[in-house]
Homo-oligomer: A and B are copies of this chain.
Amino acid sequence: MGRWQPDSRGRLQEAALALYSESGFDQTTAAQIAARAGLTERTFFRHFADKREVLFGGSALLQERIVAGVIGAAPEDGPLDAVACGLAAAATMLGEFRQDLSRQRQAVIAANPELRERELAKLADYAAAVAVALRQRGVSEPQATLAAEAGMTVLRVAMQRWAGGKDGPDLSVIMRDSVAELRAVAARP
């Protein structure tokens, strides 16, 4: 796992997650987050458009990485193998985030229906982008959408397993294992 840099952005993120956990997302203000991080509210808004972006700010980059992983898969890879390459790229990026902060993030989102809906909408966006990349590889429908959506399910489940476990295996290992579990589930008994 990479090192988390205690820069302004990182300090704001850490302060926000602590406050969201303690007081609830709706009850926390940007001013409180800035104060907790020892920074000004103006600095907060230089880094984040709003409170929600603290939780979802990395999603455009994450989507790019996932799609790049799919595009970079070997030409002979099947649909789910290509998706697994995208998931490996996601695991590399997400695995650099501190596991304790990921755990807080998951708990904050799980506790708030509006944030849960937003998280699901992001995953649906990733799935749509992955399905496009798969179709460009020649995968037809409905296989492209099914593989993409199933892959995003794996991403979500793997993130929960990772954030839930203390000092467990790293996210890349959990991601690979979760893909294998999906294969096992889908195989005829």
Contact = CB atoms under 8 A, between A and B. Distances in A.
Nearest to A81: B189
A149 B153 contact: yes
Contacts of A149: 150, 153, 156-157
Interface in A133-189: 142-143, 145-147, 149-150, 153-154, 156-157, 161, 178, 181-189
Interface in A63-83: 76-81
Interface stretch (A11-19, A30-38, A47-55, A114-122): A114-122
A124 interface: yes
Nearest to A179: B186
A6 interface: no
Contact of A120 (B81, B117, B143, B182): B117
B184 A187 contact: no
B189 A146 contact: no
A113 B121 contact: yes
B181 A188 contact: no
Given A78-B185, A150-B182, A183-B187, 11 more contacts: A78-B187, A113-B121, A117-B121, A145-B157, A146-B178, A146-B182, A149-B156, A150-B150, A183-B188, A185-B186, A187-B187
Contacts of A153: 146, 149-150, 153
19 contacts: A78-B185, A78-B189, A80-B186, A81-B189, A116-B124, A117-B120, A120-B120, A120-B124, A142-B157, A143-B185, A146-B157, A146-B178, A146-B185, A147-B185, A149-B150, A150-B182, A182-B186, A186-B186, A186-B187
